Amino acid sequence: MARAPAVITSVVGSFPVEEGLDRTEALAGFYAGRPVDPFEGALREAVESQVAAGIDWVSDGQVRADMITLFSAHIPGMKVADGRTTVVGAIEPPARSITRGDMLMAKRFAGDQARVKGILTGPSTIALSCAVADGYRDERDLQLVHDIARVLRREAEELIANGAVAVQIDEPFFSTGVDELTARLAAVDSIAKGLAVPVAMHVCGDVSDLMGDFLALEHVNILDHEFAASPQVLDAISRDDLEGSGKRVGYGCIRSDDATVEDVPTIVTRIRAAVSKLGAENLIIDPDCGLRVFPREVARAKLENMVKATREVGGSE
């Protein structure tokens, strides 16, 4: 196996899914008298595409559902109908891990070619995406946020116990101007506290005005943001900020809102800007956000060029 580049490459999470193919596999398995996971083919494709591109830390592709119902459909106290989640009572931990099975499947498909990170949708993003019928005041109730955080903490522990190389917590709502941000960040920190692997918080959008709040997180190790679509975010952080807080940056260097496949020189220029300002040792290279919205060939090509650019800038260990 080729030696890994000096700078780790990763993904934010989601990968394109062609559901028709998965249904065909499920139907064939049904008539053959054997149970077949209808999403196994999509998960295999997601992992093998990431591995083929040269990604170091891969994800399971989050192929089963959107980032909210992927979790809320399995959390006691929540009910999903027509793709919408409603809180119907007190939030309790599920009897078993929600994403452990997919992570183990991803590990099997990755083999020794890559390592798998666990991905969690953050407690505020889940809460603010729900309607509340019972158990809490409304979707802004901080008790709801902290109860979801306790569920996610157990999920993170399960993923780590089963080999996750890192855990990522996605909080896209933070860039939209949420209220009581300090308390919401504390919920993220409560998930990360004392975990045995690096913990990243991913927030897309322009977070320039929020970097000071994010740097104050005590237990989150990696701040993952979009820098290709929002290059001004790089101006809001310095090498001293990172080294003083003991953090690294997940540096989004390919766009997740544009199907244009950036060429290698374009990505090299973006990465070199980050290396010059923050230091290569403080970076993890990844896309701006998930790649689910693209055709599979576009997602693969973007990742391939990202890895090539990273190797050109960082060389090999």
pLDDT at 145: 98
Structure tokens at 7: 């700078």
Burial of 188 per CB tally in 10 Å (0-12, 13-18, 19+): buried
Question: What would the mean pLDDT of 258-276 be, rounded to a whole number?
Answer: 98
Higher pLDDT among residues 1 and 251, named by residue: 251
Domain ranges of the chain: 8-63+102-122+164-176+193-314
Task: Give the chain's mean pLDDT.
Answer: 93
pLDDT surpasses 80 at 20: no
Contacts of 219 (CB under 8 A, 6+ apart): 189, 192, 193, 194, 195, 199
pLDDT surpasses 70 at 3: no
Give the model's confidence band at 317: pLDDT under 50 very low, under 70 low, under 90 confident, else very high: very low
pLDDT surpasses 50 at 203: yes
Q: Are 178 and 128 in contact (CB under 8 A)?
A: yes
Burial of 297 per CB tally in 10 Å (0-12, 13-18, 19+): exposed
pLDDT surpasses 60 at 29: no
pLDDT surpasses 60 at 238: yes
The span from the CA of 15 to the CA of 285, in Å, is: 17
The span from the CA of 174 to the CA of 242, in Å, is: 20
pLDDT at 31: 52
- DSSP character for 176? G
Give the model's confidence band at 218: pLDDT under 50 very low, under 70 low, under 90 confident, else very high: very high
pLDDT at 314: 81
pLDDT tens digit string along 68-124? 999 999 999 999 999 899 999 999 999 999 999 999 999 999 999 999 999 999 999
The span from the CA of 232 to the CA of 237, in Å, is: 10
pLDDT at 122: 98
This prediction has a pTM of 0.93
Question: What would the mean pLDDT of 262-282 be, rounded to a whole number?
Answer: 97
Structure tokens at 253: 């260097």
Closest-CA residue to 301 (of 251, 267, 250, 252):
267
* Percent of residues, the chain, with pLDDT higher than 90: 87
pLDDT at 248: 98
pLDDT tens digit string along 123-143? 999 999 999 999 999 999 999
CATH 3.40.50.620, domain 8-63+102-122+164-176+193-314, yes or no: no
Edge-to-edge strand ranges of the sheet holding 283-286: 8-9, 283-286, 248-252, 222-226, 199-203, 167-170, 118-121
pLDDT at 197: 98
Question: What would the mean pLDDT of 239-246 be, rounded to a whole number?
Answer: 97
Question: What would the mean pLDDT of 58-63 be, rounded to a whole number?
Answer: 96
Give the model's confidence band at 36: pLDDT under 50 very low, under 70 low, under 90 confident, else very high: confident
